[in-house]
Amino acid sequence: MSFQEFSEFLSRLEKTASRNEITQILAELFKKADAREIDKICYLVLGRVAPNYEGLEFQLAEKMVARAIALAYKVDIEKVTEQYKKAGDLGDVASALANSKVKIQKSKLSVGQVFELLKEIALESGKDSQERKLTKMANLLSRIDPLSAKYVTRIPTGKLRLGFSDMTILDALSVLEKGDKSARKQIEAAFSVTADIGKIAQKVKVGGLEGIRRIRAEPGIPIRCALAERLASAEKIAEKMGSKFAVEPKFDGFRTQIHLWPHSANASRGKEVRIFSRNLENVTHMFPEIVSAVKKLPVESAIFDSESIAYNPATQKLLPFQDTVQRKRKHGIEQAVIDIPLKSFVFDILYLDGETLLDRPFFERRKQLEKILGKSDTRTIVLTDQEIISNAEDLRSKVDEYLKQGLEGAMVKKLDVAYQPGGRGFHWVKFKRHTENTKGEESKVTDTIDTVLMGAYAGRGKRSTFGIGGVLIGVPGGDGKYYSLTNLGTGLTDEQFREMFKIVEKLKVDKQPFEYTVDKITKPDIWVRPKVVLEVLADEITPSPRHTVGYSLRFPRLIRVRDDKNPEQATSVHEIKELYKMQTGK
């Protein structure tokens, strides 16, 4: 497919906000694409030039792209800047200039060719790489038609926001195969064990639904994380779990999925390690001590599921999340490893020496883990404590013990079930500080709620010194939309106000994002694009006509910004309804 034809699809996608229509257009695009290019098409429509988990970023500032445009179309940079000020989008500027320079000889580049050229630009690194990126970008722009130039410009600047994610692509693949969304579940199951959207699309294109049935986990490609459910009391948890179940401490750190495998090209170069976060980003660079510790384990290849948390090397005590989060940085990692070392508490194993363990029951996976980690002498990779219990009383006393140690609570796990990639289910139930009050009575809201920042209200009085007077937060509906849940104002400390102001400044947009469903009376003064997840705790969930979820929160307080979650992974509208039911005991 030529990039020009692909751009026509992008143009159609850009013009619609309807998820159904987007799905149909994508299915049509996939039908026209051939098997060698469909993977690249998937990455490109998401604004990327590699699977998301590779974390390949362009590192090319808008200013540089503006210079590339000037160079490509032989105009002064001032002219580009001036047009940019008027149009507000560099893609439109490039497109207009390409149009006026009809003399330029255009060759019809294919999607695959443009993809490779863009990838080359992203891969340039080191000394003078900015200049090399710029020259390559200019060269590419000078070879393509105006419409293609518009989208090629938007990709490196991160402005190709078409308003859908991997999940819509899965729907479109189902439409491609079945004409409707009936195969989505099956395709999603394959994506859950190999979260590479391009690879999944290619398998579907080549072998249909049969092609994806054979997909197995592979070290190096992330598996979507299993998630936990909530229940209102120790009794309810024990009842759901059956006669015997496992209880483990719940650590409050980073989810770390650790992959280890022999260097594919050259075995003498030892082992490769990749670490993925909860939202499947490649975060290997943040944890050099985990990388070296995992290489010492007595295994050839493995995928571990773990939680990594900072500790004080002098006392060996685990530290709160605020300290662990300090490890999230791009620079100064070496020093951070010394100042804030981490331990990875491994609680599951999903793959071992060439074989997937995903379908094995948990107690068997745990035995494998004990065998491997029991022998290891690393202080960084640690086997998570576990106890097998059978009733609510024992559960409560374990939870008390964990809370006294300063932990977040307990994870309760069924013993005879397979790992559930990407799924929240009753195979794991979390028991946090708020699940019960101190008297063992069910608390009203049994968990913190992860919400999405949607907008902000202008500050008045004292709060005007912070720049904003409160924020509007909401949750995803699972239909590509976000619904408002509550205003958060009095529940913010001064420090949090300042932090919110910075985030709002960075993410504000001119108009209400099309995926927001908000009532007139709760409209904020400033809109923010869906990006940041805020964890809040409330006293109660109450029905509310003002907020489009249909419920609101009483006394919401901000616990923290959760930058390990995507907006789509925040608590859903459905979960809010479930939490409300739990609270009212229905």
User: 519 pairs with which residues across the strands?
Assistant: none
Report the helix count and the strand count for the chain, using DSSP H and E: 20, 21
Binding mask 338-377 for ligand AMP (x = CB under 6 A): ---------x------------------------------
In the structure encoding, which two tokens stand for residue 314, read together?
């002098």
Instruction: In angstroms, give the least distance from the CB of 534 to ligand AMP.
Output: 14
Instruction: In angstroms, give the least distance from the CB of 420 to ligand AMP.
Output: 12
Taking the least distance from each CB to ligand AMP, the nearer of 199 and 255 is 255
Instruction: In angstroms, give the least distance from the CB of 226 to ligand AMP.
Output: 8
Taking the least distance from each CB to ligand AMP, the nearer of 366 and 430 is 430
Among 203, 250, 414, 432, which one carries the catalytic annotation?
250
Instruction: Choose the stretch contacting ligand AMP; rule: CB under 6 A; options: 2-10, 74-82, 99-107, 223-231.
Output: 223-231
Taking the least distance from each CB to ligand AMP, the nearer of 47 and 422 is 422
Instruction: In angstroms, give the least distance from the CB of 10 to ligand AMP.
Output: 35
Provide the CB-side half-sphere exposure for 478 (13 A, CA): 7
Taking the least distance from each CB to ligand AMP, the nearer of 202 and 384 is 384
Answer for which of 41, 228, 412, 570 binds ligand AMP (CB under 6 A) is 228
Answer for which of 411, 504, 532, 579 binds ligand AMP (CB under 6 A) is 411
Instruction: In angstroms, give the least distance from the CB of 293 to ligand AMP.
Output: 19
Instruction: In angstroms, give the least distance from the CB of 347 to ligand AMP.
Output: 4
Task: Report which of 378, 432, 376 is spatially closest to residue 400, judged by C-alpha positions.
Answer: 432
Q: Find the angle CA(356)-CA(378)-CA(249) to the nearest 5 degrees.
A: 70
What is the C-alpha separation between 187 and 362, in angstroms, rounded? Answer: 24
Answer for which of 96, 189, 209, 227 binds ligand AMP (CB under 6 A) is 227
Query: For residue 22, what are the contacts with CB-CB under 8 A and spacing of at least 6?
Result: 13, 16, 162, 163, 164, 168, 172
β-strands 409-413, 516-517 pairing = unpaired
Minimal CB distance residue for ligand AMP = 255
Answer for which of 430, 444, 529, 547 binds ligand AMP (CB under 6 A) is 430
Query: For residue 135, what are the contacts with CB-CB under 8 A and spacing of at least 6?
Result: 68, 71
Instruction: Choose the stretch contacting ligand AMP; rule: CB under 6 A; options: 189-197, 208-216, 222-230, 468-476.
Output: 222-230
Taking the least distance from each CB to ligand AMP, the nearer of 97 and 275 is 275
Question: Within 340-378, where are the H helices?
Answer: 362-375
Query: For residue 217, what are the contacts with CB-CB under 8 A and spacing of at least 6?
Result: 193, 194, 223, 303, 350, 351, 356, 358
Give the 3-state secondary structure of residue 310. strand
Q: How far is CA 244 from the centre of its chain?
A: 34
In the structure encoding, which two tokens stand for residue 394, read together?
């024992």
Burial class (CB in 10 A: 0-12, 13-18, 19+), 256: buried
In the structure encoding, which two tokens stand for residue 466, read together?
């912070």
Q: Tell which positions 432-461 bind ligand AMP, by CB under 6 A.
A: none
Instruction: In angstroms, give the least distance from the CB of 228 to ligand AMP.
Output: 5
Give the binding-site size for ligand AMP (rule: CB under 6 A): 13
Burial class (CB in 10 A: 0-12, 13-18, 19+), 439: exposed
What is the C-alpha separation between 120 and 113, in angstroms, rounded? Answer: 11
Amino acid present at 182: S
Taking the least distance from each CB to ligand AMP, the nearer of 50 and 227 is 227
Binding mask 246-275 for ligand AMP (x = CB under 6 A): --x-xx---x--------------------
Instruction: Choose the stretch contacting ligand AMP; rule: CB under 6 A; options: 168-176, 245-253, 335-343, 474-482.
Output: 245-253
* Catalytic residue flag (residue 250): yes
Instruction: In angstroms, give the least distance from the CB of 280 to ligand AMP.
Output: 12
**Region of residue 235 (phi > 0: left; psi between -120 and 50: alpha; otherwise: beta):** alpha
**Region of residue 399 (phi > 0: left; psi between -120 and 50: alpha; otherwise: beta):** alpha
Taking the least distance from each CB to ligand AMP, the nearer of 398 and 529 is 398
Instruction: Choose the stretch contacting ligand AMP; rule: CB under 6 A; options: 74-82, 168-176, 220-228, 462-470.
Output: 220-228
Binding mask 488-527 for ligand AMP (x = CB under 6 A): ----------------------------------------
Taking the least distance from each CB to ligand AMP, the nearer of 148 and 420 is 420
Task: Report which of 330, 285, 335, 287 is spatially closest to residue 307, judged by C-alpha positions.
Answer: 287
Instruction: In angstroms, give the least distance from the CB of 164 to ligand AMP.
Output: 25
Query: For residue 558, what are the contacts with CB-CB under 8 A and spacing of at least 6?
Result: 488, 491, 492, 493, 496, 534, 535, 536
Instruction: Say whether residue 278 binds ligand AMP (CB under 6 A).
Output: yes
Q: Find the angle CA(47)-CA(52)-CA(58) to the nearest 5 degrees.
A: 55
Taking the least distance from each CB to ligand AMP, the nearer of 187 and 310 is 310
Taking the least distance from each CB to ligand AMP, the nearer of 140 and 228 is 228
Instruction: In angstroms, give the least distance from the CB of 266 to ligand AMP.
Output: 34
Is the Cα torsion angle 299, 302, 306, 311 positive or negative in sign? positive
Instruction: Choose the stretch contacting ligand AMP; rule: CB under 6 A; options: 9-17, 39-47, 224-232, 326-334.
Output: 224-232
Q: Tell which positions 290-329 bind ligand AMP, by CB under 6 A.
A: 307
C-alpha R_g of the chain: 25
So which residues are the catalytic ones? 250
Kindly list the residues in this chain that would bind ligand AMP in the complex (CB under 6 A).
225, 227-228, 248, 250-251, 255, 278, 307, 347, 384, 411, 430
